[in-house]
Amino acid sequence: MSKLRRRAVLGAGAATTLPFHVFAQTAAAARPRLMQGVQSGDVGSDGATLWSRADRPARMIAEYATTESFTDARRVEGPLALEATGFTSRLRLDGLPPGQTIFYRIAYADLSDANATSDWVQGRFRTPPPAEADVSFVWSADTVGQGWGINPEIGGMTIYEAMRSLAPDFFVHCGDTIYADDPLASEKTLPDGRIWKNVTTEAKSRVAQTLAEFRGNHLYNFLDANLRRFNAEVPTIALWDDHDVLDNWYWERRLDADPRYGEKNVGVLARRAERAFREFMPLADGLDGPMRLYRRFSFGRRLDLFRLDMRSFRAPNGANRQEKAGSNTAFLGIEQIIWLKQALKASSATWKIIAADMPLGLVVYDDWRRKSGFEAVANADDGPPLGRELEIADLLSFIRQEDIRNVHWITADVHYPATHRYDPGRAAFRDFTPFYEFVSGPLCAGGFGPNALDGTFGPQVVFQKVPPPGRFDLSPLEGSCHFGHVRIDGTSGVMTVSHRDASGTAIHSLDLAPS
């Protein structure tokens, strides 16, 4: 069994090693509680983040070990959980042994009574392997959308239990971690007359506008026992997308025509939503300074994962037909594109997986009812790259010119699972190496699709599962929910990508050998 190396543990504030002792306890009702459980995230060769939340001002305390009995445990003092952080706190661990299951537990000490300490809540995660070992992960998106929330009659969001049962090394949440613009009613009627019943809360009874309401949307998801159990065992790498703020948002947008919102400036709402997202997701970065989501996560010699941010740097949605690249065609933005090119070129991993919150070739309209404006990259013009496509064309060309191999994409957003192969032989723009885009979702939301494919980069459908003709907003009871699973064989390097339904049953699978 590997032992923990005696290196520093980094948190939001200095973390110090504490002596081992048992805290005296006051009455249970007076002790802090961890109502949202624990979670880990942003795990990679450089460490992992531990997260939890207290029910009052408290000091985070963590122990971590390579044995479930905690015989080799280290105890560290974490940051304060205060009202200013929504009572959340996080701790960054480094110096962890590779290829090792790390067991951890978190407690909180009340700031007003040192003897009032919570019970421990335990979790675990696995560090990346040192060599050609197997690696697996799951991905999906869209939690509690279109009025489909936590239904206790069916056991809640059981898709999280299906993902947990596969024992993946990590989970990529491709965005819409909440639906801040989608209130919940206690019931929703299906077309066949069945009644879907939701757990409801005050925060989910209206669109989110205040920081407290955005926090309340995140807190709602933690009411689900499946999610809490999943979080305790599978580290999350989280992206954000539109419904983390509101549908199809961009910084310059205004809501003057939407009577639901008293705050009309979307930029103001986005800053509040961003704060809540950063508080409740187990990110590597702290809460101070600009959010920098884009990051590479290394998992041994077989896999590098590149997390993108397709929301923070985009220009306003519009016709998306500009002939020259500029500030009005930005999607990933210059700084992120430069980083991604350099990170891809520097990667020596067999597989390079780009995690995006929106697809490249599927047409996603800004106003789907009128089919006007564009929310994603594609512009429904099968010709040469225009608008946001110029940025992606430049990236794809760079990958080919630098001979960077085995680059593929995972994404979500469109609420149905699909596999697309992008082929320069079928494309208007041909200066790229063929690649696959794997789409999944939703986790607990309505099912839609299919979306049209834009021919600029030559995508073709290898697989898709969409609602029956004429059906819109398919419910979880009717099979709307899906996730994807990736397994890389450490010996052969073969990557198997499967689409799965909410029960975990594989509905399509594809084996890819590394070039």
Residue type, 424: P
> How many domains is the chain built from?
2
Low-confidence stretches of the chain (pLDDT beneath 70): 1-29
Domain assignment of residue 181, yes or no: yes
Domain assignment of residue 367, yes or no: yes
Asked if 175 and 312 sit in the same domain, the reply is yes
**Could you tell me if residue 373 is left (phi over 0), alpha (psi between -120 and 50 degrees) or otherwise beta?**
left
CA-nearest of 59, 108, 176 to 448 is 176
**What is the C-alpha to C-alpha distance for residues 227 and 506, in angstroms, rounded to an integer?**
21
Asked if 118 and 166 sit in the same domain, the reply is no
Q: Are strands 195-197 and 135-140 parallel, antiparallel or unpaired?
A: unpaired
Close Cβ partners of 108 (under 8 Å, ≥ 6 residues apart): 32, 34, 52, 54, 58, 59, 60, 61, 81, 117, 118
Domain assignment of residue 183, yes or no: yes
Domain that holds residue 55: 9-126
Asked if 314 and 429 sit in the same domain, the reply is yes
Asked if 490 and 355 sit in the same domain, the reply is yes
User: Which pLDDT belongs to residue 15?
Assistant: 41
Asked if 146 and 118 sit in the same domain, the reply is no
Q: Which of 63, 97, 126 is the last residue of a domain?
A: 126
Kindly report the CATH number assigned to the domain that includes residue 58. Answer: 2.60.40.380
Domain assignment of residue 441, yes or no: yes
Asked if 191 and 58 sit in the same domain, the reply is no
pLDDT digits (tens, 9 = 90+) for 103-152: 999 999 999 997 899 999 999 999 999 888 999 999 999 999 999 999 99
Asked if 58 and 75 sit in the same domain, the reply is yes
Asked if 192 and 47 sit in the same domain, the reply is no
Quickly list DSSP for 93-120: E-SPPTT-EEEEEEEEEETT-TT-BPPP
**What is the C-alpha to C-alpha distance for residues 410 and 398, in angstroms, rounded to an integer?**
19
Asked if 152 and 172 sit in the same domain, the reply is yes
Domain assignment of residue 3, yes or no: no
Asked if 121 and 199 sit in the same domain, the reply is no
Domain assignment of residue 24, yes or no: yes
Close Cβ partners of 303 (under 8 Å, ≥ 6 residues apart): 135, 349, 350, 351, 353, 488
Domain assignment of residue 1, yes or no: no
Neighbours of 43 (CB within 10 A): 26
Q: What is the DSSP letter of 513?
A: -
Asked if 238 and 275 sit in the same domain, the reply is yes
Q: Which of 60, 93, 126 is the last residue of a domain?
A: 126
Close Cβ partners of 245 (under 8 Å, ≥ 6 residues apart): 180, 181, 266, 269, 270, 273, 274, 311
Domain assignment of residue 196, yes or no: yes
Asked if 257 and 387 sit in the same domain, the reply is yes
Q: Which of 72, 91, 126 is the last residue of a domain?
A: 126
Q: What is the DSSP letter of 428?
A: S
Kindly report the CATH number assigned to the domain that includes residue 359. Answer: 3.60.21.70
pLDDT digits (tens, 9 = 90+) for 226-282: 999 999 999 999 999 999 999 999 999 999 999 999 999 999 999 999 999 999 999
